[in-house]
Chain A
Amino acid sequence: MFEVKNLTKVYNDGTVALRNISFPVEEGEFLVIIGLSGSGKSTLLRCINRLIDPTEGSIVWDGVEITSVDPKLLREIRRQIGMIFQHFNLVKRSNVLTNVLAGRLGYVNPVSSLFYRFPEKDRNLAMNALERVGIADQAFKRADELSGGQQQRVGIARALMQHPRMILADEPVASLDPVLAHSILGYLEKLNQEDGITVICSLHYLDLVQRYASKVIGLREGRIVYRGSREEIRRMTDEEFKNIYGQEAIRVSAGKRERDG
Chain B
Amino acid sequence: MSEMNGFDRKQKQRAVSGPVAGAASLVIPGLGQIVAGQLRRGVLMFGAIVSFFVLFLWRIHLLAHREEGITAQFVKAFQRRPFFVGILTAGIVLLWLWNAWDAFSRVQFKKKRGNAIFIVVILIFFILGWQISQIDLYKMITEFPDAVPPLSKVLWPWKAAVEREKEKISAGADILIGCDETPPPPPEEMPGKPYVKVDPRCGTLSKLDEDNEIVEGTTITIYGRSFLPNSEARIWWIDSLGNEFRPRQEGEYAMVMTDSKGSFTYKLVMPYRLVPPSAKGPQIHRVEARQVISLGDLVIADPLRLTLARMAETIFMGMMATFFGIVFAIPVSFLAARNLMSGSWATMAVYYITRTILNIVRSIEPLIWALVAVVWVGLGPFAGIIALTLHSIAALGKLYSEAIENIDPGPIEAIQATGATRLQTIMYAVVPQMIPPFVSFSIYRGDINVRMSTIIGLVGGGGIGFLLVQYIRLLDYRAAGIAVWFIALTVAILDYVSAEIRRRFV
Enumerate chain A interface residues (CB-CB to B < 8 A): 46, 49, 51, 75-83, 85, 87-94, 102-107, 110, 113-114, 116, 155, 158, 161-162, 168
> What 11 new A-B contacts, CB under 8 Å, besides A87-B410, A91-B428, A168-B417?
A49-B417, A51-B413, A51-B416, A51-B417, A75-B420, A76-B419, A78-B417, A79-B419, A91-B433, A102-B414, A106-B420
User: In whole angstroms, what is the CA distance A83 to B427 when docked?
Assistant: 19
Q: Which of B414, B417, B419, B432 has the most CB of A within 10 A?
A: B417
Bound complex: CA of A105 vs CA of B416, how far in Å?
A: 9
- Establish whether residues A158 and B429, one from each chain, have CB atoms under 8 Å apart when the complex forms: no
Q: Does B47 contact A (CB under 8 A)?
A: no
B428 contacts A110, CB within 8 Å?
no
Chain A residues near B424: list those with CB within 8 A: 105, 110, 113-114
**Distance to closest chain B CB from A225 (angstroms):** 27
A105 and B423 in contact, given A91-B433, A93-B435, A93-B436 (Cβ under 8 angstroms): no
Cβ–Cβ contact A93 & B432, under 8 A: yes
The answer, yes or no, to whether B415 is at the interface (CB within 8 Å) is: yes
B432 contact set on A, CB distance < 8 A: 91, 93-94
B421 touches A81 (CB 8 A): no
- From A89, A105, A114, contact of B413 by CB (8 A): A89
- Number of contacting residues on B, CB 8 A? 21
Interface residues of B (CB under 8 A from A): 408, 410-411, 413-421, 423-424, 427-429, 432-433, 435-436
Q: Give me 25 A-to-B residue pairs in the complex whose CB atoms sit less than 8 angstroms apart, sorted by A's number.
A: A75-B421, A77-B419, A79-B419, A80-B419, A83-B418, A85-B410, A87-B410, A89-B410, A89-B413, A89-B414, A91-B411, A92-B433, A102-B418, A104-B418, A105-B418, A105-B421, A105-B424, A106-B418, A110-B423, A110-B424, A113-B424, A114-B423, A114-B424, A161-B418, A162-B419
- The answer on a CB contact under 8 Å between B410 and A102 is no
- Number of A-B residue pairs, CB cutoff 8 Å, is 83
B436 contact set on A, CB distance < 8 A: 93
Q: How far is the CA of A87 from the CA of B411 in the complex (A)?
A: 10
Contacting residues, chain A, for B419 (C-beta < 8 A): 75-80, 105-107, 162
List the B side residues contacting A104 at CB < 8 Å: 418
A158 neighbours in B (Cβ, 8 Å) = 414, 418
Candidates A51, A78, A91; contact of B429 at CB < 8 Å: A91
- A103: chain B residues within 8 A (beta carbon): 418
Instruction: Indicate which residue in B408, B416, B428, B433 contacts A78 across the interface (CB closer than 8 Å).
Output: B416
B residues less than 8 Å from A106 (CB atoms): 418-420
Q: Which 4 A-B pairs have the closest CB atoms?
A: A106-B419, A79-B419, A89-B410, A89-B414
How distant is the Cα of A205 from the Cα of B453 in the complex, in angstroms?
62
Which residue among A80, A105, A107 has the maximum number of chain B CB atoms within 10 Å of its CB?
Answer: A105
Nearest Cβ in chain B — how far from A171, in angstroms?
13
Q: Are B414 and A90 in contact (CB under 8 A)?
A: yes
Contact residues in B for A168 (Cβ distance below 8 Å): 417
Identify the closest chain B residue to A110 (Cβ).
B421
Complex Cα–Cα for A155 and B433 (A): 18
Contact between chains at B414 and A83 (CB < 8 Å): yes
The distance in angstroms between the C-alpha atoms of A106 and B423, with both chains bound, is 12
Query: How far apart are the CA atoms of A152 and B85 in the complex, in Å?
Result: 77
Distance, CA A60 to CA B123, complexed state (A): 79
Q: Is the CB of A90 within 8 A of B417?
A: no
Q: Is the CB of A162 within 8 A of B410?
A: no
Once the chains are docked, how many angstroms separate the CA of A114 from the CA of B413?
18
Residues of A within 8 A of B428 (CB): 91, 94, 102, 105
Residues of A within 8 A of B420 (CB): 75, 102, 105-106
Given A94-B432, A102-B428, do A78 and B418 touch, yes or no (CB 8 Å)?
Answer: yes
Closest to B427 in A: A114
- What's the minimum C-beta distance from B338 to chain A, rounded to whole angstroms? 16
